[in-house]
Amino acid sequence: MTSLTRADVAAMIDHTLLAPEATPDQVNDLIAEARELGVYAICVSPSMLPVRAPGLVVATVAGFPSGKHHSLIKGAEARLAVDSGAAEVDMVIDVGAAVAGDFAAVLTDIITVREAVEDRAVLKVIIESAALTDEAIVGACRAAEKAGADFVKTSTGFHPAGGASVHAVRLMADTVGGRLGVKASGGIRTAQDAAAMIEAGATRLGLSKSAVVLDGFPD
């Protein structure tokens, strides 16, 4: 962890507020804190868009948190979010399709969203890794790559199975082989957690406790 500086890690963070009870004032506080911390992006619910966040990348979610939305609804939600200023979209796959081994359905789901936003936004694909077997993690990551996604992402942070794990991040990173980014999200609350995810291959971190995590890294 000593080789990672505070600035190194901040440049990888999506500072996140996706609580259903989040208010506009809390989003404004998130933006102010993100600017103070020097993080890469903020991630907010699509209903909170548009937001004014100069100097920050604005990310949002689609099909969140269950993934059990029709693909066309996810695509429409993502397109509307991009029209409202989002530069990145984190979509949730149909996790049940991955559990069932129906990776053709997972592929179609992701392609629908990719085509809806075209090349106007970075597309991250949330696979809910804690709910999947290793085989299903690999299958979902391969589908994401084939569909033209830019990142694979571990978790929504809302699933009872849990959030990111070092094992899942390493498996995801090995599967995409540097061709896609890997976002670790869900349950990362300390500098030690973050460092372990980065060492395993994470290239982006989804954090709601960014200040606490960053305080554990040297300047």
Q: What is residue 2's predicted lDDT score, i.e. its pLDDT? A: 60
The neighbour count for residue 105, using CB atoms within 10 Å, is: 17
> 180-212, pLDDT tens digit by residue?
999 999 999 999 999 999 999 999 999 999 999
Residue 117 lies inside a defined structural domain of this protein: yes
Active site residue 183: yes
Active site residue 209: no
The neighbour count for residue 178, using CB atoms within 10 Å, is: 10
Residue 1 lies inside a defined structural domain of this protein: no
Active site residue 219: no
Tokens of 119: 């090349």
Q: Pick left, alpha or beta for residue 157 (phi over 0 → left; psi -120 to 50 → alpha; otherwise beta).
A: left
Say which of 14, 74, 90, 150 is annotated catalytic: 90
Domain hosting 172: range is: 6-215
Between CA 14 and CA 38 the distance in angstroms is: 11
> 137-192, pLDDT tens digit by residue?
999 999 999 999 999 999 999 999 999 999 999 999 999 999 999 999 999 999 99
Phi, psi angle pair for 8, to nearest 5°: -55, -45
Helices (H) and strands (E) counted in the chain, each on its own, are: 9, 8
Residue 74 lies inside a defined structural domain of this protein: yes
Mapped onto helix, strand or coil, the DSSP state of residue 126 is: strand
> 93-128, pLDDT tens digit by residue?
999 999 999 999 999 999 999 999 999 999 999 999
Give the H/E segment covering residue 83: helix 71-83
Residue 191 lies inside a defined structural domain of this protein: yes
Q: What is residue 63's predicted lDDT score, i.e. its pLDDT? A: 98
- Amino acid type, 124: K
Between CA 181 and CA 201 the distance in angstroms is: 9
Report the CATH number that the domain containing residue 69 is assigned in CATH.
3.20.20.70
Say which of 14, 109, 150, 183 is annotated catalytic: 183
How many domains does the chain divide into? Answer: 1
Q: Which residue has the tokens 């991040």?
A: 169
